């Protein structure tokens, strides 16, 4: 089984990725690889942040590694919070505070269109590859559901009437930006020679 380090400390993201990859690859978390590091995300694009994280762990370990950066891009807010999604309400990465700020900024706004966008950077045998996944949808006027994480309670994907937080992981992955990007990653890895 091909071992690959997922450069994240977010267990929710690990669970979502593993749900898509199944047992085809040995997805190893940073913690499982013995890496205790908070990788900075200093850039202004998802792509640059994903590359930064993958390169950092690849340089540290010399192993195959992938990372991702995800942003919620809201049309009426000119693409905010975007690359700053995790820290929208401050550096504390407080999911609830981020959601509260988003709903406040959209108060009275009729245009609720938004999209989640994920960029994955894979460093495989020393070569860099990028994969993107997008999920279009709408922002609700209030939080709905108990599942998921981040902005899931206020995001309804096109084609459904439920928020991501009202879905199981499998249901969410039918629409999910991260699942789409991961499927492209898996397709690439499956085409690589074994060993």
Q: Computed from CA positions of residues 85, 181, 134, 42, in that sequence, does the dihedral angle turn out positive or negative?
A: positive
Omega before 22 cis (within 30°)? no
Whole-angstrom Cα distance, residue 77 to residue 97? 17
User: For this structure, is 69 an active site residue?
Assistant: yes
Instruction: Please measure the distance between the N-terminal and C-terminal CA atoms of the chain and give it in whole angstroms.
Output: 8
Which member of 15, 36, 38, 69 is catalytic?
69
Q: Which two tokens stand for residue 76?
A: 């009426």
Peptide bond between residue 81 and the one before it cis (omega within 30 degrees of 0): yes
- Angle in degrees, CA 131, 136, 140, rounded to 5: 135
Active-site residue list = 69
């Amino acid at each position: 089984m091909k071992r690959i380090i997922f450069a994240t400390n977010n267990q929710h993201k690990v669970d979502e990725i593993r749900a898509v990859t199944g047992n085809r690859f040995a997805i190893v978390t940073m913690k499982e690889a013995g890496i205790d590091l908070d990788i900075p995300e200093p850039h202004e694009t998802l792509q640059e942040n994903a590359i930064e994280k993958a390169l950092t762990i690849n340089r540290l370990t010399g192993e195959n590694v992938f990372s991702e950066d995800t942003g919620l891009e809201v049309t009426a807010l000119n693409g905010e919070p975007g690359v700053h999604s995790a820290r929208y309400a401050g550096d504390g990465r407080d999911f609830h505070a981020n959601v509260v700020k988003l709903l406040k900024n959209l108060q009275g706004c009729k245009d609720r269109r938004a999209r989640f966008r994920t960029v994955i950077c894979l460093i495989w045998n020393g070569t860099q590859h990028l994969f993107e996944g997008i999920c279009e949808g709408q922002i609700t006027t209030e939080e709905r559901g108990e599942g998921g994480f981040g902005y899931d309670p206020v995001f309804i994907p096109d084609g459904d009437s439920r928020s991501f937080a009202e879905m199981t992981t499998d249901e969410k992955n039918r629409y999910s930006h991260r699942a789409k990007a991961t499927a492209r990653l898996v397709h690439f890895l499956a085409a690589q020679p074994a060993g």
